[in-house]
Amino acid sequence: MINLIEKLQSGDRLEASECFKLYDLDLFTLGKFANLKRQKLHGKKAFFNLNRHINPTNICADVCKFCAFSSHRKNPNPYIMSHDEIMQIVEKSVENGAKEIHIVSAHNPNTSWQWYLEIFKKIKEIYPNLHVKALTAAEVDFLSRHHGLSYDEVIDKMIEYGVDSMPGGGAEIFDEDIRAKICKGKVGSKNWLEIHKKWHERGRLSNATMLFGHIEEPKHRIDHMLRIRDLQDMTNGFNAFIPLVYQKDNNFIKVSKFMGSVEILKTMAISRLVLDNVPHIKAYWATSTINLAMVAQEFGADDLDGTIQKESIQSAAGAKSASGMDMRNFIDLIRSSGLTPVERDSMYNEIKVY
């Protein structure tokens, strides 16, 4: 342990074998070193953006056991939005100040690939400066398999139709055994990484998530982070890493012990320490609660995601995020935590320091 602490003090990159020992350290030791790294990169800044999440359909060909959003026997309310409906939401969101639209759908087998992609063109025609963050690697994989397109073809179409960046969804946990238990049939780990690699190779940026607090163990989280770190060494295309805290309601994973705040904060801190090449660690308040997301800013995280306006995926599973967050509240909470609220764009350029 002394060697590991010396290594953390040096600030040098941790070897994989050292990363696997990090969970043995206590929260405050991890927090101290993660905060040093965070302060070195971002000082006291806590980033957020003005965004809107839109989930155009919940009808899904896949059956992920953690998902309470897709329509299934515990949530029998299938829907699919028309492009007109989506455009109305976009219009309202822009009126409310959104600068980014984050569009993620279930894998709906009853639609064409055009239904997935043409909406981006429609948005960009009217709002050329609105950032479109859309299509997870899981959706890319679904579109490829369902419509007989290669990954390259889907990705080139995304660019042609106006997608600016890719969200980090669908990564879940890369370990193949755990993945088979929680989301069998969905995009495999290697393919998730391959899709992001192809996206990065076209000069585009994306995020990476990790779903934790279900049946995985700490070693699986470290393995997940290391696979992200390896790809980032090659492409430098990840903007942010987002550890998503598992929400337990209305889904099909039986979890006997739920994750407490200490383990959540340790995971945030460890993310900062392992992912020395990813610029931002996002404490996504929708899954961690807003107060813990604020505390996480002192344990390695530097970003909170945004005001969201409406959230359907995590709130279906119990998170208190259904109606987003008021910008004033956001700013006041960041300030009262002793941090500097920084509104950013989707590429982390600073728009306004409050």
> Measured between alpha carbons, how far is residue 293 from residues 7, 111, 148, 288, 318 in Å?
27, 37, 41, 6, 17
Separation CA 24–CA 7 (nearest Å): 15
> Which span (21-29, 41-49, 242-250, 288-296) binds ligand V47, by CB under 6 A?
242-250
For 20, the token pair is 């696997």
Per CB under 6 A, 243 contacts ligand V47:
no
Q: Is 68 in the site for ligand V47 (CB under 6 A)?
A: yes
Find the shortest distance in angstroms from Cβ 71 to ligand V47: 14
CB 25 to ligand V47: min, Å? 26
Angle at 206 between CA 36 and CA 93, to 5 degrees: 100
211 touching ligand V47, by CB under 6 A: yes
What is the x/- site pattern for ligand V47, positions 172-191, by CB under 6 A? x-------------------
| Contact call for residues 108 and 57 (beta carbons, < 8 A) | yes
If one asks whether residue 315 binds ligand V47 (CB under 6 A), the answer comes out as no
Burial class (CB in 10 A: 0-12, 13-18, 19+), 197: middle
Q: Tell me how far, at minimum, the Cβ of 74 lies from ligand V47, in Å.
A: 12
Give the residue, chosen from 56, 162, 170, 243, that forms a contact with ligand V47 under the rule CB under 6 A.
170
Nearer to ligand V47, 166 or 222 (CB): 166
Among residues 183, 213, 161, which one has the least CA distance to residue 318? 213
- The whole-angstrom separation of Cα 170 and Cα 167 is 9
If DSSP codes are grouped into helix, strand and coil, which group holds residue 212?
strand
Q: How far is the CB of 141 from ligand V47 (least distance, A)?
A: 12
CB of 2 to ligand V47, least distance (A): 37
Q: In the complex, what is the shortest distance from the CB of residue 66 to ligand V47, in angstroms, rounded to a whole number?
A: 5
- Amino acid in the structure at residue 279: P
Residue ranges that bind ligand V47, judged by CB under 6 A: 66-68, 104, 167-170, 172, 207, 209, 211, 242, 244, 246-247, 251, 284, 287, 305, 313-314, 317
